[in-house]
Amino acid sequence: MADENCRRELELEIPAEEVSKATEKVAKEFARMARVPGFRPGKAPIALIKKRFADDIKGEVLQTLVPEKVEKAVAEQKLTPISQPQVDKLEFVEGQAVKFRASFEVLPEFSLGNYKNLEIEMPEMTITDEDVDKTLKEMGERAATFAPVEGREVQDGDYVQIKLVGTPEGGGEPLKADSVLCHVGAEETMAPFNENLRGAKVGDHRDFDVTYPADYPDAKLAGKTFHYSVDILGVKTKSIPELNDEFAKDVSDAGSLDELKKKVRESLEHERDHRQKDLQREKVLAELVKLHEFPVPEALVEHQWTCGWSGWCGLWRIREWTREPSTWIG
């Protein structure tokens, strides 16, 4: 929960001499560029320029002096702002000092307690032969090739290349694809695709409906029914290479399958070490949070703060398949 202890308010004042100096400088710039009836460019009296462009000059002066004053005050007080300062109670009277209030949030201050004897439980992360075999299998899948099938109907295991148009029930933007691969019979493929594409031949057309479950990963499809109009463009079979020495040489710089297995294990162990360090850090931070109570600034509650002083300028304006370039559906 946000805490007011993270909020700071600075009552600031810019000396009258500094304001007057800045005003004169800005007024001269206006005089140099302004076009005033009856005067040649750059020849109008400063007094007239100040009167005619009073509000604009005031704005430019504040635009320059206020952020400079805030930044200087923050640095002097060694504060760490995490939100853009809000300026109010601004007093600007000609010939007098400019007074205003700057409000912003800072990082909370707290004393770090005893953390050297923290005990955390880490899950065992052992790299097994099964992990290596699984990775090799995935590498084989990525190195698979596709060959066209002719003279028979589509059967389970085939990859059917289709052109489709899907129209949502009740209206809406249709789904269109000129070349999509659908793995018929696969567990991840929606049943209507399996049922309607199984037994088809190249050149056939199919029309069918698909109702997606409410928890379907794609939010554009979840809970909706689409009517699909599908043309069968081709049928292909997938060939996965045998895991042997030749495979190892094709997919890596290893000279044999055993050497590839060794490299895979080393890579998995390297990834495991990184995961362990990240998990350990997360667990330590979680325990530290439990041991310390401190206020949380509203700015951190509402959004992640990503800008620093350089971002304050606005304030002052008060599955890839390499051998088959197709889209996959399922």
SS3 sequence of 115-152 = CCCCCCCCCCCCCCHHHHHHHHHHHHHHCCEEEECCCC
Q: CB under 8 Å to 31, separation ≥6 — which residues?
A: 42, 44, 46, 49
Which residue reads 């704005």 in tokens?
Answer: 59
Q: Predicted confidence band at 162 (pLDDT cuts at 50, 70, 90)?
A: very high
Listed range (63-72, 204-213, 306-315) with the worst mean pLDDT: 306-315
Q: What is the pLDDT of residues 182-240, one digit of tens each?
A: 999 999 999 999 999 999 999 999 999 999 999 999 988 999 999 999 999 999 999 99
CA nearest to 10, candidates 93, 67, 94, 61? 67
CA–CA dist 149, 156 (Å, integer): 13
What is the pLDDT, as a whole number, of residue 253?
Answer: 93
Across 75-95, average pLDDT: 86
What is the pLDDT, as a whole number, of residue 326?
Answer: 38
CA nearest to 131, candidates 10, 265, 243, 230? 265
pTM: 0.51
Q: Which sequence spans correspond to the domains of the chain?
A: 4-105, 145-239
Q: Which two tokens stand for residue 275?
A: 């995961």
Domain 4-105 homologous superfamily, CATH = Trigger factor ribosome-binding domain (3.30.70.1050)
In CATH terms, the fold of domain 145-239 is Chitinase A; domain 3 (3.10.50)
CA nearest to 132, candidates 241, 243, 238, 242? 243
Cβ 148 vs Cβ 238: under 8 Å: no
Reading phi first (left if > 0) and then psi (alpha if -120 to 50, else beta), residue 277 is in alpha
CA nearest to 231, candidates 197, 275, 185, 279? 197
Residue 316 pLDDT exceeds 60: no
Paired with 14 in beta bridges are 98
Q: Which helix (H) or strand (E) holds 35?
A: none
Question: Which amino acid is residue 121, in one-letter code?
Answer: E
Residue 328 pLDDT exceeds 60: no
Radius of gyration of the CA atoms of the chain, in A: 35
Question: Which amino acid is residue 58, in one-letter code?
Answer: K
Q: Would you say the CATH fold of 145-239 matches that of 4-105? A: no
